[in-house]
Chains A and B, each alone.
Chain A
């Protein structure tokens, strides 16, 4: 069974997309890493052109971030002031990223650039994760406790224009969070990822935020950055395919829930090395596609606009004739899906509690 994606102009198997996004969601929930840098390469492997994979994954990240941030919002465990400062940098970074994207798209090299960027990011993260997890395993075997460094000051902490962040109890230069946001926004625009793998360590080790405020603030920043990325991609290139986004969101939200439940039951520290190896394998698969199989990918024939159903025609017309409103609609669509997922999760958890009370 195959479904035609009207915007990406390719046929895909919806079961494959749902399964893959669910698997990536499970990994994401289990290890606490964003699924963007795994899901986008998988979409590319399924035959979706990289420029479309990036844009649609950014929209999926928006929906999952909205869904995940409700808990932190309700418990008020996020630093809004710090979040907004990072978002300022994120907005600048995203705009620069979209211009860079346009430049490479203009010279016809965007697919190669995206593939290379993914290959290097996966190789770097995979290598660091593998070395770190092997060190942890080694230390655990020897019963050595890792020495934690005392509060270390880098040159970055001496930057001017300092501001108080009462929630995080910090007195920090605004240039530090702006710079971090800039890097995250740039990468998000080109690669369609949330950037949590940069944001979280940067918030902990560079900004020195309290760990309990980090996940909520990171999701808060991701929401804004992915809104800008989604809108700019949709407005400039009309590359958001609502059908694909719907499949991605359903799969990943279910997967993340399963992953989080699994994470509560098993110790995932030993499995981290396996995730690192998976990232390295995906990286080398992209390398193979980029270096040796580019011709095969380029020969994937796109479908003409004939024999489209009403829904597909509507999406294409909407995207082409009203790009601004289509951009806004894709954002609202992702937010509504995210909020709906959060409500369903709350409803199911309340139902479970009620059933448990009744059974007692």
Chain B
């Protein structure tokens, strides 16, 4: 079997890109969480 025919290897770059996107999304959510909670706490 040729190495290029292994499906999981072909999926790797796309998987990596998905992880990066998920990471960025999580970071942005955490970022917004910090500033929203911080604002809420400051005004209380």
A residues with a Cβ closer than 8 A to B are 112, 116, 119-120, 123, 127, 130, 134, 138, 280, 283-284, 287, 290-291
Contacts and interface: CB of A to CB of B under 8 A. Distances in A.
A123 B32 contact: yes
Contact of A287 (B17, B21, B35): B35
A290 B28 contact: no
Interface of B: 17, 21, 24, 28, 31-32, 34-35, 38-39, 41-42
Contacts of B35: 119-120, 123, 283-284, 287
A290 B24 contact: no
B24 A291 contact: no
A123 B31 CA distance: 8
B31 A291 contact: no
Most-contacted residue by chain B among A112, A123, A130, A138 (CB, 10 A): A123
A284 B35 CA distance: 8
Nearest to B25: A131
B44 to A, nearest CB: 12
B39 A127 contact: no
Contacts of A287: 34-35, 38
A112 B42 contact: yes
Contacts of A284: 31, 34-35
Nearest to A290: B42
Nearest to A119: B35
A281 to B, nearest CB: 10
Given A123-B32, A280-B31, A134 B24 contact: yes
Most-contacted residue by chain A among B21, B35, B38, B42 (CB, 10 A): B35
A134 B41 CA distance: 32
Nearest to B20: A134
B40 to A, nearest CB: 10
Contacts of B42: 112, 290-291
A290 B31 contact: no
A134 B28 CA distance: 13
B41 A127 contact: no
A291 B17 CA distance: 34
A193 B31 CA distance: 24
Nearest to A286: B35
A280 B28 CA distance: 9
